[in-house]
Structure 1
Amino acid sequence: MRHGKKNNHLSRTHSHREAMLQNMASSLILHKRIETTLAKAKELRKFVEPILTRAKDDTYNNRRMVFRSLNDKETMKELFGTVADKIASRPGGYTRIIKLGNRLGDNAETCLIELVDFNELLLAAAADKATATTKTRRSRRGTGARSATDATPVDTAETVELPSAEVVEDEAPVETVSAAADDLTIIEGIGPKIAELLNNAGITTFAQLADAEDAVVQQVLVDAGSSFNTHDATTWNEQAALARDGKSDELKALQDRLKGGKE
């Protein structure tokens, strides 16, 4: 009986399992992301996160304990140098698991496990979102403040109209930035998992996909792993442009041609 034993043995002996987790932890620290099965990634997360917490406090004892777990000098340099500086202000949750679907052959669930603070695309998207929210709030406050001041002792109508015109010009781009995300799955060749990858990369609307270069979109698929490398993204921006402009008939005709006339 295995009552209360939550660790997954991964069908390996204790020594084999420990050596495998050491190897995977070193690869994750050195390369910042690795592709593996979901079961291994969940066990790796439990193995590597306490090590990352120790690395934030650079003491002799912590280095000794971490080296006993990793047993690799190059990994130790990277961990107590670059990685420790990046995660210094994070209280926990240093890793992220992104599911990639089942692989051919044994049908095992695959995923990416990565260090959260080293995904530049997601960090840039989060910063843009925070900036957009801040701009929206400021412009609304500015409108209220100006309208309140303009209601009191103003002599000419010209002075009243100028601030409100400036506010309208400031708010117009903000509304486009904070627009709701489009359903990218209506584009032929994009499924729910690819749509999630594009959203994580900051491409959430038809307009952004239409303006994105093929090389950028293809790089997102390459970074996601070998199971997405075979997808052809050359027509996605053309389809997204038609969807953005509301040309549903032309979009359907183009998709019919891409599918060879089959429904």
Structure 2
Amino acid sequence: MPTPTKGPRLGGGPAHERLMLAGLATSLFEHDSITTTEAKAKRVRPLAERMITFAKRGDLHARRRVMTVIRDKGVVHRLFTEIAPDMADRPGGYTRITKVAPRKGDNAPMAVIELVREPIAKKATVAEAEAATKRAAKDAKKADATKADETTAEPVEELTLDDNATDEAAAAPAAAVDLPEGAVATTEDGSAPEGYDVKGNANSGLYHVPGSQWYDSTEAEFWFASAEDAEKAGFKPAGGAEKQEVDEEA
């Protein structure tokens, strides 16, 4: 006994199912496309493709095998003379199933099954297209490499700086600081000018007397002779007056 097909059987019995599938295959070969339920389309697909395989053989035995399913001689003649030649270069996949909107009334899922009779591209054409794509990719790589070489080969202009200009640029920050009233600039070696030992800082607006907490770690931008001169110039004692009384006590 043959193994039954999985799923519910079409029709009322096995004979009815065979007749239904034969009718669907006959309509498909006659019209090239039919609309039916999705279940019937999936069931008739292997049968229709098997009939096309027999038709591609073209001998008498294959015709008699097809006649056991397709009873209409006109449809069999069309299958062997029109459909099979169109499928000669196609190794398989003779049908295509496309889902469509459900059927009105019972909302059954519907599908369109059709014969794929479009000519397939020959291997030579496909190989030629692939070769053209590879050539285009190689040309693009060569063009990118040429552009990269041109960019690398461009001469780089060297900038020459005048020694005087460099000295002026180095001295610019020091000159940019305006000296407050009663203050003198720092000497070239960074030491305190004679008679000026109170450090002043323009950014913080504070002054530091010798011996105070932050005196050694503070870089002076200018110097004052005394704390009174620094206060007259608007500077405040760093950390308060108590932190800057060391010099007076000394």
TM-score computed with the length of structure 2 as normaliser: 0.48
Larger relative CO (CA 8 A, sep 6+): 1 or 2? 1
Specify the structure having the higher radius of gyration (Cα): 2
Structure with higher helix content:
1
